[in-house]
A and B are shown apart, each in its own frame.
Chain A
Amino acid sequence: MKDDIILKVENVSKQYRLGTIGTGTISHDFNRFLARIRGKEDPYLKIGETNDRSSKGKSEYVWALKDINFEVKRGEILGIIGKNGAGKSTLLKILSKVTGPTTGSIKSRGRIASLLEVGTGFHPEMTGKENIFLNGAILGMTKKEISSKLNEIVEFSGCERYIDTPVKRYSSGMKVRLAFAVAAFLEPDILVVDEVLAVGDAEFQKKAIGKMQDISNTDGRTVLFVSHDMAAVKNLCINAIVLDNGEIVLIEKVEKAIKHYIDLGNDNRKIDLKNRTDRLGSKETFLFTSLIFNNGKPVLSGESLFMSLEYKSELYFDDINIALTICKESDEKILTIDTIHQNIKVEILKGKGLVTIRLPKLFLLPGVYRINLWSEYHKSILDKITNCAELRVFENDIFNTGKILNSNKHGIIFPDLCEWNVEN
């Protein structure tokens, strides 16, 4: 069926009260109670602000979610992405009935099982096998169902040898494997998965993602998947929801949604250098006044990088040298883009001007980098600013393989596409 809607979320909002619970809470509870017995609406529902974590608000109440509406079709894998605090986890909690919505409703045509954490209810003193049963039952399986799948679960987890050992002797990776294995053999109509794949090694993550695809493709079950790992989202999902400050900003095809999400996290603006006092050089004669990357668009790993440098000069220079150094956060230098070694002549006229530099391909992996800026004329420094700007590089499917290089694992830079040859 084409329009077989299995889950319908209508006007769901969730309000939270900030601060601590103390004597003030009683008076609010009392006011609520009075309103209710007089048949009026909850007085605290009308107030409340959107949930912007960074700005200080006036109200004690915030909306962690506001007017969320969407539908999920049977067999669909829907991604939910957003910044920290955008409301993803709250939404999942409501979907999995851990907490109720403040207003609105969720209608479902299937059993929902949630995987907000792996190994919920694992008891360290019990053996792996006992925990499989306990965890399975917590997730909603019957003892019979678990018994019939026990061998498969143990095999999938790859912890056969330890199955009769208390879980407290397990490494954290093994615990995750065992827990995910239990969840993988759940048979709900709708599976809700939070960022549980962040743990475990690469091999296991691959296995887990493969399992989720199987669940959706072969069994026709629905998956709601929340992650910060854009590669996994892109791999798994067809459509995605972008949440920001508790509201849905976009429901779209996954590529578009990811692009939108990156734009949200992009704080790339023109960086004002006019008023920097921590600079060396001529101070007045020649100054860099601003710097902007990609004209404000996000900087993606493996794409071109375009830098615009504005300057102000009180003199004419026939040929100055300019160098930009990109450093790690620890100030270790990674690469320098300069005029000297590339034999570039830069002529500066009196007044204001603009220097633009285009790197055809940025070989940096995602992360935050620092920029040092330097210029000289005949061996005397004109303007030098150390740590003049932050460069945020976003992740990108560089080789178009759906696999994303990661600066935690693969270093800082990456190679261009290589030629491989095997001789036997």
Chain B
Amino acid sequence: MEQKWLFVISPKTKLIDLNLKEVWQYRDLLMLFVKRDVITLYKQTILGPLWYLIQPLFTSIIFTLVFNNVAGIQTGGIPPFLFNLAGITIWNYFKECLTATSDTFKKNEQIFGKVYFPRIIMPMSIVVSNLLKFGIQILVFIAFYIYFITTGHDLIVSKYIFLFPVLVLCMGMLGLGLGMIISSMVTKYRDLTFLVSFGVQLLMYISLVVLPLSLFQEKGFEWAVKYNPMAYIVESGRFMILNEGSVSQFGVIYTSIFSIAVLLLGIVIFNKTEKTFIDTI
């Protein structure tokens, strides 16, 4: 009689081996990792969660000072500070997701080397816990938004604001996908670690975080941002919140397809790596 086995461990891997049922079984672990990240991040600091706010605020102040006051970049009818804060808040979510997931394997070598759980739980928990951080930063943004309205600025939210969660989803997928690809490659070749931190920095400048799209178009450098999905995300995000800038149909479709493709590729590579990475890391 052929016996039925619950599972088989073998060296062969299927191309897409994402066991969603298993991931679902471990959903509590995902939430506990999120909880861990949140409560331990600012333990033994005086300002605690205030650091969530200080970082984007000061960056926006400096950017406003340098790019708008000194370099004289125009931001349309929007106060430059608010323009920068919106860009940075959105960009930061992507940045944090990418940088934190990109060293998943290296950072969790200790745990991964001792116990099995679906590895993808770890990067997923990072994306979720960053969502919390993002939420807090959005609240800060709203506070400033209201402040600027009360001081007489004519600000209005676009009618497309309801699509904002879709943008966040795209960013999450992009960050997670890219992060998983990089973390898989870092297990064997550490070179990529160096690339990530300054690569992200460079990418920011062509993602319309500080420089508006109009400026790129004016100077004939549209090609620099045309195929960058993050540029579309930042630009459309700002459009939704501040009703300034534009949303292109091409951009939305391109970004969605790109994000899904990156995520799928990330999952494939990550799955292939997770089986034996512990031998090469």
Contact = CB atoms under 8 A, between A and B. Distances in A.
B5 A107 contact: yes
Given A21-B188, A126-B39, 20 more contacts: A21-B189, A96-B115, A99-B275, A100-B9, A100-B275, A101-B11, A102-B11, A103-B11, A105-B11, A109-B3, A120-B111, A121-B115, A125-B40, A130-B36, A130-B39, A134-B32, A137-B29, A143-B28, A143-B31, A143-B32
B278 A99 contact: yes
A406 to B, nearest CB: 27
A376 B26 CA distance: 76
B116 interface: yes
B112 A98 contact: yes
Given A126-B39, A140-B117, A108 B9 contact: yes
A108 B115 contact: no
Contact of B278 (A8, A93, A95, A143): A93
B29 A99 contact: no
A25 interface: yes
A107 B4 CA distance: 9
A60 interface: no
A109 B5 contact: yes
A98 B6 contact: no
Given A109-B5, A137-B29, A104 B10 contact: yes
Given A101-B10, A107-B5, A134-B32, A139 B43 contact: no
B48 interface: no
B17 to A, nearest CB: 12
A110 B6 CA distance: 6
B276 interface: yes
Q: How large is the interface on A (under 10, 10 to 19, 20 to 34, 35 or more residues)?
A: 35 or more
B115 A114 contact: yes
A-B pairs, top 3 by smallest CB distance, nearest first, are A97-B116, A105-B10, A137-B29
A101 to B, nearest CB: 5
B9 A120 contact: no
B115 A126 contact: no
B215 to A, nearest CB: 42
Given A98-B278, A100-B275, A138 B117 contact: yes
B76 interface: no
A142 interface: yes
A234 to B, nearest CB: 26
Nearest to B33: A134
Interface of A: 5, 8, 16, 21, 25, 93-111, 114, 116-117, 120-121, 123, 125-126, 130, 133-134, 137-144
Interface residues of B, number: 37
B117 A21 contact: no
B7 interface: yes
Contacts of A109: 3-6
Nearest to A29: B188
Interface of B: 3-11, 25-26, 28-29, 31-33, 35-36, 39-40, 43-44, 110-117, 188-189, 275-276, 278-280
Contact of A94 (B6, B9, B112): B9
A145 to B, nearest CB: 9
A19 B73 CA distance: 55
A133 B32 CA distance: 8
Contacts of A5: 3
B81 to A, nearest CB: 35
A117 B115 CA distance: 8
A98 B109 CA distance: 10
Contacts of B6: 108-111
B279 A16 contact: yes
B114 A116 contact: yes
Nearest to A141: B28
A93 B32 CA distance: 24
A126 B36 contact: yes
Contact of A116 (B8, B115, B117): B115
Contacts of B3: 5, 109
A130 B25 CA distance: 20
B43 A125 contact: yes
Contacts of A107: 5, 7-9
A21 B280 contact: yes
Most chain A CB atoms below 10 A, which of B11, B113, B275: B11
Contacts of B44: 125
B111 A138 contact: yes
Nearest to B29: A137
B40 A99 contact: no
A114 B112 CA distance: 12
A29 B278 CA distance: 17
Contacts of B39: 125-126, 130
Contacts of A100: 9-11, 275-276
